[in-house]
């Protein structure tokens, strides 16, 4: 009986829905801080609702933060952006892989109604989205960059993109994962 009540308390001790807002009207003003507050390996999906605004930050979904959904208020007005690029990072020949605006290492991640952008401009390799988890989905998102916009990593990983708008230049969708693009607009 004591174990059962302790288990119930631990499970109820975290939020399943978190709100991020630049104006302070939500639980957090930063997406990264909201993710840091999430329970690792949750029993149920955790939804982080992001109100309209430009969020100038690098965001990482660590491997232990499975079942997270980032849901934007509006694809055109909820923008995650950052401007790292190969020459700026300067970490040797693998610098490209440190440039991502959104890095997803967790399985069962979902994003919807967001713009994910690497705003570095035409300066060479600059990743907007790096997906290293399995069973990750992106619905009604804009993914914007130049060279290396989307890196779909993981030899056995599967990624799903639905109704997304994706832009880039040189080999801007790359990686060894299996990625399925349904009803997406891809602009080179």
Q: Is the pLDDT of residue 30 over 80?
A: yes
Q: For 48-65, what is the mean pLDDT?
A: 97
Confidence band, pLDDT 50/70/90 cuts, at residue 15? low
Mean pLDDT of the chain: 90
Share of the chain above pLDDT 90, in %: 76
Active site residues: 148, 171
The residues pairing with 117 across neighbouring beta strands, listed in sequence order, are 81, 144
Tokens 């109100």 locate to 51
Q: Which of 83-87, 132-136, 143-147 has the lowest mean pLDDT?
A: 83-87
Query: Ramachandran region of residue 52, left (φ > 0), alpha (ψ -120 to 50) or beta?
Result: beta
Backbone angles phi, psi at 169, to 5 degrees: -125, -115
Q: For 7-32, what is the mean pLDDT?
A: 78
pTM for the structure as a whole: 0.90
Q: Is the pLDDT of residue 10 over 90?
A: no
Q: Is the pLDDT of residue 56 over 60?
A: yes
Confidence band, pLDDT 50/70/90 cuts, at residue 14? low
Confidence band, pLDDT 50/70/90 cuts, at residue 163? very high
The predicted structure's pLDDT at residue 95? 84
CB 84 within 8 A of CB 99: yes
- pLDDT digits over 73-102, tens only? 999 999 999 998 898 888 888 888 888 999
Pairing of strands 173-174, 165-167: unpaired
């Amino acid at each position: 009986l004591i174990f059962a009540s302790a288990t119930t308390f631990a499970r109820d001790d975290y939020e399943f829905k978190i709100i991020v807002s630049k104006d302070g009207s939500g639980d957090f003003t930063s997406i990264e801080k909201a993710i840091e507050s999430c329970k690792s390996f949750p029993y149920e999906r955790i939804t982080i609702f992001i109100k309209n605004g430009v969020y100038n930050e690098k965001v990482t979904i660590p491997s232990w933060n499975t079942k997270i959904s980032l849901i934007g208020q509006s694809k055109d007005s909820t923008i995650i952006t950052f401007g790292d690029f190969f020459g700026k990072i300067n970490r040797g020949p693998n610098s490209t892989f440190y440039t991502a605006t959104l890095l997803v290492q967790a399985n069962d991640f979902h994003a919807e109604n967001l713009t994910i952008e690497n705003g570095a401009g035409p300066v060479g390799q600059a990743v907007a989205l790096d997906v290293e988890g399995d069973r990750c989905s992106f619905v009604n998102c804009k993914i914007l960059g130049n060279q290396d916009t989307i890196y779909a990593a993981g030899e056995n990983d599967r990624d799903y993109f639905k109704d997304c708008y994706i832009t880039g230049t040189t080999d801007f969708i790359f990686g060894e994962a299996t990625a399925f693009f349904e009803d997406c607009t891809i602009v080179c």
